Amino acid sequence: MDAVLQARSLGKKYRHRWALSDCTLDVPAGRIVGLVGSNGAGKSTLLNLASGMLTPTTGAIAVCGGRPAGGPAQLSKVGFVAQDTPTYAGLTVAEHLGLGARLNPGWDAALAETRIHRLGLDPGQRAGRLSGGQRAQLALTLGLAKRPELLILDEPVAALDPLARREFLEDLTDAVAEQETSVVLSSHLVSDVERVCDHVIVLVDSRVQVAGDIDGLVACHQRLTATDDSRAVPPTGSHVVSTSRADGRTTLVVRTDVPDRAPHDPAWAVGPLPLEDVVLAYMGRRTTSDSRPTTALEPLR
């Protein structure tokens, strides 16, 4: 399977408002994929559609080769941790594991119990009395012990402090390496995505602006600066992602077809771009009705 998640012209409408519209993307299998976009871009709606929590208004979506929530076998393939890392406040840690075992035929009790012990969680402690980081780890344990083919994480660390967030992400990386599970991690924090993901998809107004391996994206993007606006003509062979002008200075974010190839035009000073600046450049672009998914080396429209 080349793609663990495929969406084609996918849309979800609530009365008169489209939460997601005309979304087309492919999520590669066997990877930790970061889904990045501003608030309202459609990330959570897309992931709720992928988990089967919502049904599409238009278009189609396939996850692990089947329709989301299309029966017990399909449900067992997908683990989902929502944005608020939901747990039952009145249930103990042990009761959560027991519930997971009853609901999931492929439940790995040894994995769940080992993780709980290693994390120092008291099996008799009620979830409502755990810290935010502990609840997030409990929710991750439930998702991993299900042994899914795809684990979907919708901003699971958004409410955590920096230390708890780092511990959660490090633990996620270790667990995924052991299980060889595909992961989609939604986040508006590019630093978190860069820490654990090897592939990124930037979603703006429901449309994919760019998608590709992180190393390739960084290598193919550069910042060009010209101090003389009269000479500020974009170099041949580069695709302009964003343009800004201030105090007679023009700054471009460009993508080249050949990684690490710098333009030869002496009018431009060339500098590298961190992933965050690459992502922000695409997030600032205005989408159009004919926008389509782009990869790191595919010409932009």
Domain boundary among 188, 205, 222: 205
Indicate whether 285 pLDDT > 80: no
Assess if residue 301 is contained within a domain: no
Query: How confident is the model over 43-60, as pLDDT tens digits?
Result: 999 999 999 999 999 999
Looking at residues 260-288, what average pLDDT do you find? 80
Task: Provide the mean pLDDT of the chain.
Answer: 87
Query: How confident is the model over 80-107, as pLDDT tens digits?
Result: 998 887 899 999 999 999 999 999 999 9
Looking at residues 149-169, what average pLDDT do you find? 87
- Domains of the chain: total: 2
Indicate whether 244 pLDDT > 70: yes
Assess if residue 288 is contained within a domain: no
95 & 162 share domain: yes
142 & 221 share domain: no
Report the distance separating Cα 210 and Cα 277, nearest Å: 13
Q: Provide the residue range defining the domain that includes 196.
A: 3-205
199 & 220 share domain: no
Domain boundary among 149, 182, 205: 205
Give 148's pLDDT tier (boundaries 50, 70, 90). very high
Looking at residues 280-298, what average pLDDT do you find? 60
Find the helix packing angle between 109-119 and 132-145, rounded to 10°.
160
| Nearest alpha-carbon partner for 91 in 102, 75, 78, 76 | 102
198 & 230 share domain: no
| Nearest alpha-carbon partner for 55 in 63, 64, 45, 65 | 45
Indicate whether 229 pLDDT > 90: no
Indicate whether 293 pLDDT > 60: no
Report the distance separating Cα 268 and Cα 261, nearest Å: 14
Indicate whether 11 pLDDT > 70: yes
Assess if residue 300 is contained within a domain: no
179 & 229 share domain: no
The residue with greater pLDDT, 78 or 39, is: 78
In sequence order, the 6+-apart residues with CB closer than 8 A to the CB of 51 are 68, 69, 78, 80, 152
153 & 60 share domain: yes
186 & 221 share domain: no
278 & 138 share domain: no
Report the distance separating Cα 214 and Cα 205, nearest Å: 21
The pLDDT of residue 286 is 59
Sign of CA dihedral 13, 15, 185, 195: positive
| CATH number of residue 127's parent domain | 3.40.50.300
256 & 196 share domain: no
253 & 168 share domain: no
The model's pTM is 0.86
167 & 201 share domain: yes
Assess if residue 157 is contained within a domain: yes
Give 68's pLDDT tier (boundaries 50, 70, 90). very high
Looking at residues 215-233, what average pLDDT do you find? 81
Domain boundary among 175, 205, 235: 205
45 & 144 share domain: yes
Report the distance separating Cα 209 and Cα 202, nearest Å: 6
